[in-house]
Structure 1
């Protein structure tokens, strides 16, 4: 990286592509490189690593924009999420807060009568995972799910009709395509199915109809929709003087954080809080000198970071 005045230049080489970021946000080199890597993986989700390498072997000066036309919206959306979504910094998933009974019911409905060649099936609400059906020995990497969720929220293209699109999940397999079925069954609530069979669309579509009918019959869909429309606040925790918090379970690769309230409802303090969390996380997980406990006192609040190896 290069520092020039208030600006930081960070580079990432992922042959045959070079990435560069120019920022003045105060983020660390590692945090910015992680963001550049996400942008690289977003490109791989459209073009596999094999295709990308082959293209530039044939034409070194090839203009990649010709093949990325229409996907700029997802790169823009991802760049925006870096500055208001903690998922990327924490390498974790924010699951939808809902009752265990409702989540179990949704999982049972998904697992009933599933189609052939189905790899993953999930219900996503407001960009959060409600339930996931997967093979016992094949979990999805959080970064692959982040790219998938970015597709759902980054464009309104998928909101109006059933979609069937080839998709590369770089952590799962950077060399090949899977096929994603996406359908919004309620406002903000979607069913996503990942299949290995490119001819599975109609079979999955019929299965989706049965899933929606079962969810409506058991009122599961309404519960999911209600949960997505209202996030919990720090006041619900009833801890005196607590202004905000984040908690990540390393075992489950999931995190939870309340909605912003009180002094963090204006844009300036929202951004300030986000940067403070970034600084705290970087300081505690620094490669050369990681910390288990870190306390910092500012003009408006005191922040405590704690790494517990038991959860």
Structure 2
């Protein structure tokens, strides 16, 4: 936080006035010649609000983060403006005042219950404050608010919301509670199983993750996320490797999955199997340089100098 300084001079006031144009709800741009048919929309930033925001920014500049927070939050509550709620939250976070930031976000969500951003802020703050259990309800609400086409991607990413808990063993139970109900719906069943599998892999508890990946693959054999997760287990788990090989038969041009599979095979010193997979990639996508380089390195390892020379 900047140290308290003397009262700001005219240059600082000019900067503050300019910055407030981006903080206010809908500040009008400088007047420009417009066609007579253009609709005029007046700014909602009246004199009282402008003065209030100016005072808040000046207080923050002078090191009075608590006062700035209260002024900004009061303005947000009066106007129900999302940008002002965000600004109040940011001021609290800059001051490392987690409880005040949480209060601002909860007021934000209460005033604008359909705000995706408010939900995300709330979830992240609850997890950061070691109150992950309280994030279950807003996470389920966030899924409801998310567009149907984007919902599976959000559900798959659920374990990432809990990455800061510091206790990975808790994540599967949290994800299971969030996905309750969604795992029974055809449109979100595979995504829910992927999320749970990712959570168990993070523990790690591979035996609990594998059946979820098998079920997800059976429901959607062409799902790349399932195959990518299974590839991580493929070297020493035949059932996981079966998922990968089945997927690659259906999607031979999925080079990302195949190259990840190659990396796992190479780490397991299964150089012959890795070479076979690389030969498929170089045949299907001969313009990709990295697979040729890896293939050449493996041929050197296998003492095949002629083949290595060709690849390199």
TM-score, normalised relative to structure 2: 0.23
Structure with higher helix content: 2
Of structures 1 and 2, the one scoring higher in RCO (CA 8 A, sep 6+) is: 1
Which TM-score applies when normalising by structure 1?
Answer: 0.23
In our comparison, the structure showing a higher alpha carbon Rg is 2
